[in-house]
């Protein structure tokens, strides 16, 4: 593996690993969501990512950005709920921000694309850091990603660092009171539970760390 670029094969491997992880953690995500939402986050994401994995089969992408655009479109059309539009829009934004037509992206390109993904989620969901949402894992992951890239790290180290930060961000949602999404209807009773969206974001970043690990 080229440790300085994300190419089509690696992007596909990342999304397949994310699909496997979300599927394996369906019950866990559902339990987290049942505590503060309606308990469908795991099932819905697993359905979406399974469809993503299927659509990647033999698709023969020429550009790495197309992999994410296709994944995003699939999530939007299969998941429903809030997580479908949010993750779908994020992946589409990532794909569209990658250099058009390029078969691979370097780490600076990838960081910029992830940034576009986070911006898209924040725009659609209106969430700020601390609202107990996807953003609470996504933003620290991106910060760690950018910092590692700026420090000259290679992809495995960058990805591991982002995954670690996403995990910390997800765990840090436990004491927070939700202010967005369905959990916000619970008010203070949402405190004491880890946010399911932040948790699935962590799984997705962890999947990149797993497929790039030396």
Partner 1 sequence: MKKFINDPADVVAEALAGLAAAHPELRVDVTGQYVARAGAPRPGKVALVSGGGSGHEPLHGGFVGPGMLDAACPGEVFTSPVPDQIVAATKAVDGGAGVVHIVKNYTGDVMNFQLAAELAADEGITVETVLVDDDVAVENSTWTAGRRGTGATLLVEKIAGALAEEGAKLGEVAAAGREVNAASASFAYALTACTTPAAGRPGFDLPDDEIEAGVGIHGEPGRRREKLRPARELVRSALDAILEAKPLNPGDRTLVLVNGLGATPLLEQYLVFGEVATVLAERGVQISRRLVGNYVTSLDMAGLSITVARLTDEMIRLWDAPVRTPGLRWGV
Where do contacts with partner 1 occur on this chain (CB under 8 A)?
30, 34-40, 43-44, 47, 76-86, 124-125, 179-182, 184-187, 189
Q: How far is the CB of 169 from partner 1 (least distance, A)?
A: 20
In the complex with partner 1, which residue's Cβ is closer, 134 or 148?
Answer: 134
Residue whose structure tokens are 């990838």: 110
In the complex with partner 1, which residue's Cβ is closer, 127 or 160?
Answer: 127
Tokens of 69: 């655009």
SS3 124: helix
Q: How far is the CB of 113 from partner 1 (least distance, A)?
A: 21
User: Which residues pair with residue 5 across a beta bridge?
Assistant: 106
In the complex with partner 1, which residue's Cβ is closer, 21 or 190?
Answer: 190
Q: How far is the CB of 207 from partner 1 (least distance, A)?
A: 23
Helix (H), strand (E) at residue 28: helix 26-36
In the complex with partner 1, which residue's Cβ is closer, 129 or 156?
Answer: 129
SS3 127: coil
DSSP 168-207: HHHHTTTTPPP-STGGGGGGGGGTTS--HHHHHHHHHHHH
Q: Residue 115: CB partners within 8 Å, gap ≥ 6?
A: 97, 142, 146
Q: How far is the CB of 173 from partner 1 (least distance, A)?
A: 16
Q: Residue 148: CB partners within 8 Å, gap ≥ 6?
A: 157, 158, 161, 162
Q: How far is the CB of 44 from partner 1 (least distance, A)?
A: 6
In the complex with partner 1, which residue's Cβ is closer, 55 or 106?
Answer: 55
Beta strand segments in 66-109, E: 104-106
In the complex with partner 1, which residue's Cβ is closer, 84 or 140?
Answer: 84
Q: How far is the CB of 93 from partner 1 (least distance, A)?
A: 14
Tokens of 82: 């809030």
* Largest interatomic CA distance in the chain: 48
């Amino acid at each position: 593996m080229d440790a300085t670029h994300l190419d089509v094969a690696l992007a596909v491997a990342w999304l397949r690993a994310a699909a496997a992880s979300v599927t394996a953690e369906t019950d866990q995500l559902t339990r987290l969501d049942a505590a503060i939402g309606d308990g469908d986050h795991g099932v819905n994401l697993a359905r979406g990512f399974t469809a993503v994995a299927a659509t990647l089969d033999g698709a023969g992408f020429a550009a790495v950005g197309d992999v994410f655009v296709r994944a995003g479109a699939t999530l939007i059309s299969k998941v429903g709920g809030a997580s479908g539009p949010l993750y779908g829009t994020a992946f589409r934004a990532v794909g569209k921000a990658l250099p058009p037509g390029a078969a691979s992206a370097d780490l600076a390109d990838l960081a910029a694309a992830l940034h576009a993904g986070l911006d898209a989620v924040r725009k659609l969901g209106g969430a700020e850091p601390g609202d107990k949402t996807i953003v609470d894992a996504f933003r620290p992951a991106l910060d760690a990603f950018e910092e590692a890239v700026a420090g000259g790290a290679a992809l495995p180290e960058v990805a591991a660092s982002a995954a670690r930060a996403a995990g910390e961000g997800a765990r840090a949602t436990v004491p927070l009171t939700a202010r967005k999404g369905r959990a916000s209807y619970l008010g203070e009773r949402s405190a004491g539970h880890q946010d399911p969206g932040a948790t699935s974001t962590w799984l997705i970043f962890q999947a990149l760390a797993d497929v790039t690990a030396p």
